Amino acid sequence: MKKLIYFILNPLKTVILPLCLITYATATLANSSSVKADATSTNQSAKTLSPAQIGEKAVAYVSGLFPAPEVGELSYKFVPLDKRIKIKPCDDDIHLAIPGSASLSKQTAVQVSCHSPKSWNLYVQVRITKMIPVVVARSNLAPGTVITSNSVSVIMKDSTQIRGRALQQANLLFGAKASRYITAGQAVTLRQVCLVCKGDMVTIVAKLKGLRVKTTGISQQNGSLGDNIAILNSRTNKRIDARVVAVNRVEINI
């Protein structure tokens, strides 16, 4: 009977207490969830770049340091990072720099660094290749073969792999003859062709004070672009020295 009377006289206490406990538990769970959410948000703010992404950023950085060459183009390629290197997260954008003074070399080291949440740095090697247009043989060319548009083509090639005076314009060779055996895919150099060959009939251009006089002659030896060779003048039957300027064409200054 006493308990019943207590319940009747104090109904609010018996209801409020459980409600307080429930409210407290709910608030605790909410705070706990908020803390976890904040931690997750903090972790997500730090970005972890892949090795390929870091390499691409290094290439973009280096390519912006050097102007395009007058002839040809520059090719950039990063060396893959060692697989044992573990890349750490970074809150901010990574910083790129070249230690010392930048120079156009075959391989350049790029320092990649981060300052937050923890400082770290690593190095990426970027290979720089100068590609230039080069005339190459489409097929094997035997000595004496007359070069036509079907004989050669122009491709971009690593400048360090070219030996001799390689040509960059195919039309300079049209009508010339191979003086040596040239294999398919090989860069054609001036030493391998004769723009004027021994026994060829050539046009002689004599230049005198702005005047140009033309005559003909017979070449006494093979010559390539810029070579001085002996020519027999057909009109005077005299031997002269002339400079090769084009296919079957020479010049002399009087």
pLDDT in tens, 47-63: 888 999 999 999 999 98
* Fold match, 132-194 / 201-253: no
Share of the chain above pLDDT 90, in %: 52
Tell me the HSE value of 13 on the side-chain side, using a 13 A CA sphere: 5
The answer, yes or no, to whether residue 6 has pLDDT greater than 70, is no
Residue type, 3: K
How far, in Å, are 68, 120, 136, 236 from residue 244 at the CA level? 32, 62, 22, 20
What are the pLDDT digits (tens) for 88-107? 888 888 999 988 765 656 88
Q: What are the phi and psi torsion angles at 19 (to 5°)?
A: -65, -35
Structure tokens at 106: 């075959």
Residue 226 pLDDT level (bands cut at 50, 70, 90): very high
| Confidence (pLDDT) at 160 | 84
Structure tokens at 89: 């997260």
The architecture that CATH gives domain 132-194 is Alpha-Beta Complex (3.90)
User: What integer is the mean pLDDT of 180-208?
Assistant: 93
Region for residue 28 given its phi and psi (left: phi exceeds 0; alpha: psi -120 to 50; beta: otherwise):
alpha
The architecture that CATH gives domain 201-253 is Roll (2.30)
Residue type, 204: I
Residues 7 and 11: their CA atoms lie apart, in Å, by 5
Domain spans of the chain, in order of start: 51-130, 132-194, 201-253
